[in-house]
Structure 1
Amino acid sequence: MTSAEIITIGTEILLGEIVDTNTRYIARTLRSMGVDLYRTITIGDNVDRIASAISHSLERADFVITTGGLGPTIDDPTREAVAKAVGLQTEFREDLWEQVVETISRYGRTPSENQKRQAYVPQGAIGVRNPVGTAPCFIVEKQISGKTHAIISLPGVPNEMEHVLHESVIPYLQKTFCLDEIIKVRVIHCSGLGEGMIDEKIADLETLSNPTVGLAAHTGVVDVRITAKAKTEAEADALIAQVEA
């Protein structure tokens, strides 16, 4: 069973200036890979708080995905926070700087001096190419009790994050954590009965471990969610069908 946590970084999210769509996208992607998502967190642009959150996430989960904070400005703190979380310094990487220069040059511009910040990553990090943006991504591996854990830092810009997630991160996760399961969800929409009444009727199903059954109330509708984990989609469908019957 492989587990993960997601940390979205950006004071603008906490202030309600933008909506975090990255968490939902990553969560659905991890679900399709059979990864158990334990927790999602949003933190402002503060090195100490980000580092603390990463450290605690690594105590619970096999890997942590961060989004945001990889830009060239002083208030883009993810690189320093990840390094602090694992007790490392940051280092300038010429190969990552070449990526930054190449990307900016495609737009006919010359990199500014502050953009060199984007080529600094925690010592020994695995560089991850970002072909659709200027911010290189990176992966830091840490051995905990003889087992590989990882921090994967992605851009906050959604189209950049999605591209790197599919092109680089998913293959890395499949190889590193030997992912061979899927999680499938089926939702049954119920109307005419309240959440409490439905709970009374299916209480025994809500104690199952695989598939699990949960309720979510909306205006005029109650959703019954059946979630199954299996090696194949067909096996997951069979588990769900047993509950539906």
Structure 2
Amino acid sequence: MKAYVITVGNEILKGRTINTNAAHIGRVLTYAGYDVIRMVVVPDDIDEIVWAFRDGISRADLVVSTGGLGPTFDDKTVEGLAKALNLELELNQEAYSMVKGKYDRLGVELTRERVKMAYMPRGARPLPNPVGTAPGVYLEYSGKRIIALPGVPAEMEAILDEVLPQIRVPGRYYYEESVTIRGIMESTFAPIVSELMRANAGSVYIKSHPRGIEISKPTLEIEVSASGSSEDEVKARVKEVIRRIMEEARRINNECC
């Protein structure tokens, strides 16, 4: 199953805000059994948002967006989603009750801007927001699942946690493990990584992350990951490759020292 992540917001594109949301969503979806195939960032612009949703739906089984669900003029994600799917944007009564309840408890007037957060594409289901005000949006369309989440990290994480059991890929397991080796340059270890990848015929993925300075103080974090239908088998594959990596690292260190 493939997943596609969209982040909406000018603040991301101009570097004012670091895109931690996409990283969190990508990691959660990976452990939920998805192959995250693309992450895109688009501005608070209807046409760009429409493009992103259409592109995501054409490529993936699950599309998750973050940002643009609030009460201000530039919160356009829901409108863009409705337009992308040619669905009417309408006041969702369940979402309206959620939003109204939040402001009623505060004794605050329910303005047009606040009611805006209850509008959703026809057929969508609101996802309760236990942290903030704007509900998330859940929609199934042509066999695809679409989830729109707020941009505030705490709100995004809380809603995603709640909806995760509904979208988890059944019978699919992901596992990763990392090991740090010192005194070996990445360029020296690269042939070993390539050989281990060939030997495992795509059943594991090995990635080296330099953490030091290649020439003077080389340090490598080697990440090994795998997915499969058996949790025990996936872990065993990763651990066996980690064992081989450590074995090769000791050999290289012994030869050069």
Same fold (TM over 0.5): yes
- Please tell me whether the aligned partners of residues 124 and 138 of structure 2 are also in contact (alpha carbons under 8 angstroms): yes
Question: How far 1:54 sits from its partner (Å)?
Answer: 1.3
Which stretches of structure 1, 4 residues or longer, exceed 6 Å deviation after superposition? none
2:194 is aligned, of 186, 196, 203, to 203
Aligned length: 236
Question: How far 1:56 sits from its partner (Å)?
Answer: 1.0
Query: Partner of 2:15: helix, strand, or coil?
Result: coil
What are the within-5 Å matches in structure 2 for residues 165-204 of structure 1? Answer: 165-167=160-162, 169-174=163-168, 178-204=169-195
- Give me the whole-angstrom Cα distance separating, in 2, the residues matched to 1:156 and 1:216: 29
Deviations 1:75-113 (A, max 9, x none): 001011111111212111122111111112223322222
1:157 is aligned, of 152, 161, 164, to 152
Query: Partner of 1:72: helix, strand, or coil?
Result: coil
Query: Partner of 1:5: helix, strand, or coil?
Result: strand
Deviations 1:4-37 (A, max 9, x none): 0111111111111112211121122112212111
- Give me the whole-angstrom Cα distance separating, in 2, the residues matched to 1:67 and 1:232: 31
- Give me the whole-angstrom Cα distance separating, in 1, the residues matched to 2:108 and 2:22: 32
- Give me the whole-angstrom Cα distance separating, in 2, the residues matched to 1:40 and 1:221: 29
Question: How far 1:131 sits from its partner (Å)?
Answer: 2.6
Query: Partner of 1:69: helix, strand, or coil?
Result: coil
Letter in 1 for 2:19: D
Question: How far 1:53 sits from its partner (Å)?
Answer: 1.3
TM-score normalised according to structure 1 size: 0.90
- Give me the whole-angstrom Cα distance separating, in 1, the residues matched to 2:197 and 2:223: 10
What are the within-5 Å matches in structure 2 for residues 1-245 of structure 1? Answer: 2-143=1-142, 148-167=143-162, 169-174=163-168, 178-207=169-198, 208-219=201-212, 220-244=218-242, 245=244
- Please tell me whether the aligned partners of residues 101 and 110 of structure 1 are also in contact (alpha carbons under 8 angstroms): no
Letter in 2 for 1:209: G
RMSD: 1.5
Deviations 1:178-211 (A, max 9, x none): 5221211111212212111101223212343111
- Give me the whole-angstrom Cα distance separating, in 2, the residues matched to 1:189 and 1:203: 18
- Please tell me whether the aligned partners of residues 33 and 180 of structure 1 are also in contact (alpha carbons under 8 angstroms): no
Runs of 5+ unmatched residues, structure 1? none
Deviations 1:27-66 (A, max 9, x none): 2211221211111111110111111011111111101100
- Give me the whole-angstrom Cα distance separating, in 2, the residues matched to 1:75 and 1:124: 24
- Give me the whole-angstrom Cα distance separating, in 2, the residues matched to 1:180 and 1:81: 34
Percent of aligned positions with the same letter in both sequences?
A: 33
- Please tell me whether the aligned partners of residues 212 and 227 of structure 1 are also in contact (alpha carbons under 8 angstroms): yes
The answer for the alignment partner of 2:248 in structure 1 is none
- Please tell me whether the aligned partners of residues 186 and 240 of structure 1 are also in contact (alpha carbons under 8 angstroms): yes
CA distance 1:17–1:202, shift in 2 (3 Å): closer
* Structure (1 or 2) with the larger CA radius of gyration: 2
Name whichever of 223-232 and 119-128 sits farther off.
223-232
TM-score normalised according to structure 2 size: 0.86
- Please tell me whether the aligned partners of residues 5 and 40 of structure 1 are also in contact (alpha carbons under 8 angstroms): yes
